[in-house]
Amino acid sequence: MKIGTPLVHKKARIEIIPLIDIMFFLLASFMMVSLSQIHMKGMKGITLPTGQKGEVQNKKEYVSVSIDVNGNTYFDKTEMNYEELGKKLKTVHDEDPEAKVFVRGDAGTVHGNIIKVLDILRSVGFYKIAFEIKSEALKNLPAPPEGP
């Protein structure tokens, strides 16, 4: 014998909306983790100046030119004098004229050394140059791991 109930009996169903929400959360989490793992090509001993409105740039294929506090110049961690730097940058420009150039200057670097490097970059044909800074907005993020 079947007893009647005042409650309406509904069939079970799978709700897809919460599943979509979870997938978007996972996608956002993986994107944030991958953005924090930026491979740094610059020198470790350079103390970058900080800025208020820094932006994270994609650094897959770029040229890093660094100037330390003593005025020594580096091309992707290799120390060079200004003449060698000019020759190396000319070679890079001949291979890829659209290469991105990031200039890393120590906070205590003399302004004249930065201008000298900028003159070298412009003389070989690079006009799209970015200065690398340490952003105040990104200060609380963990430091990216150092690669080989």
Asked if 80 contacts 64 with a C-beta cutoff of 8 angstroms, the reply is no
DSSP 66: E
Q: Give the CATH number, domain containing residue 65.
A: 3.30.420.270
**Domain for residue 93, yes or no?**
yes
Q: Check residue 45 and give its pLDDT.
A: 57
- What's the CA gap between 5 and 127, in Å, rounded? 79
Q: What is the pTM of this model?
A: 0.52
pLDDT per residue rounded down to tens, the chain (148 residues): 677 777 777 788 888 888 899 999 999 998 888 877 655 555 555 655 565 555 555 545 678 888 888 888 888 888 889 899 899 989 988 988 888 888 888 878 888 888 888 899 889 988 888 877 666 655 555 555 454 4
Beta bridge partners of 73: 67, 80
**Domain for residue 75, yes or no?**
yes
Number of structural domains (the chain) is 1
Q: What is the largest CA-CA distance in the chain?
A: 99
**Domain for residue 29, yes or no?**
no
Tokens of 88: 């190396």
- Supply the range of the domain harboring residue 123: 50-135
